[in-house]
Copies of this chain bind each other. A is one copy, B any other.
Amino acid sequence: MITAAVVGGAGYIGGELLRILTGHPEVRLVHTTSERMAGRRVDSTHPNLRGRTDLVFRSASELDRYDVVFLASGHRDTMRSLPGVLDRADVLVDLSGDFRLSDPETYRRHYGVEHTAPELLGTFTPGLPERYRDRLRTADRIGVPGCMATAGVLALAPLADAGLIDGEVAVDARTGSSGSGASAGSENLHAERSGAMRVFAPLGHRHEAEITQETGLAVRMTATGVEAVRGVQVLCRVRFAEGVDERAVRAAYRARYRDERFVRVVAERRGLYRLPEPKILTGSNFCDVGFAVDGAARAGLLVAALDNLVKGGAGNAVQCVNIRFGLPEALGLEFPGLHPS
């Protein structure tokens, strides 16, 4: 059994880690921290875990040493606390945005502050199994990408790598409210957020830097909060290189994802769910990827969808850990999502 701890277990990503790890047959979840909730039962915050765990939140200062520590703290906090956690874990998995970008200047531009541990930037293997599986087998520091970045990279990279895309990409991301975390600002009030179509990042979102870093493509990203608790969907408008048609696009995705357990190519001619949609992915670790191609116009729309807390966070992290410890990659991640939901 692998011993594990989750730092920041009272948040939404943290709670999702607790859900997955308490059901994972090869992991023993030993410890989870929350400064605010220290001393209270985990299931008082995450009531879905009633009957599944008797764990109590503790302070991070009580951390012992574990095979793996997941960091589910906020951006900016993590870079400050991480150095103190480094020696608590054989394998460290960070789910914040603080160690995803390799360049401190890019970090500053997108997060608005100086990085406090720039020497650690670039020491994290990107936690994206579909692209870094081999490196993850031996990685001791893993940085899980942002939810929208994961969706964008999984949609764009196979075509970018194959040279099918020409020029700048326009990414339109839609997200549910859980992406804002469990903090209660007025912008997240039910009465204000319900039924919203809130364009909160009209001309650039920090995840675009991750997509560019990963695919080499120039990306311009818009992000909108829509009515949903979980779920991210990204639409990528691309211009194709000359001669690219639907067959070529489908072939590029198939080649890359045929053997991937958690990426499905969804581009169908009929049915209600012809293109990827987060609604049927809630709770699952899938990222569905689809496309529509107008070969004559050299235009395409690539669509990816995932649950921001699972494949866009906690599930992806556990998939990385499964790889790192030589376990079956889908262990603990079998839930397929619901229809209807």
Contact = CB atoms under 8 A, between A and B. Distances in A.
A235 B184 contact: no
A61 interface: no
Given A186-B272, A235-B222, A340 B197 contact: no
A188 interface: yes
A194 B280 contact: no
B278 A197 contact: yes
Copies of the polypeptide in the assembly: 4
A334 B25 CA distance: 12
A185 B186 contact: no
A51 interface: yes
A268 B292 CA distance: 35
B222 A19 contact: no
A336 B18 CA distance: 11
B48 A280 contact: yes
A340 B229 contact: yes
Which of the four size classes fits the interface of chain A? 35 or more
Interface in A198-255: 198-199, 202-204, 220, 222, 224, 226-231, 233, 235, 237
A63 interface: no
A198 B272 contact: yes
Contact of A339 (B22, B46, B172, B226): B46
A174 B196 CA distance: 11
8 contacts: A19-B339, A47-B273, A172-B222, A184-B186, A190-B190, A196-B277, A199-B235, A199-B301
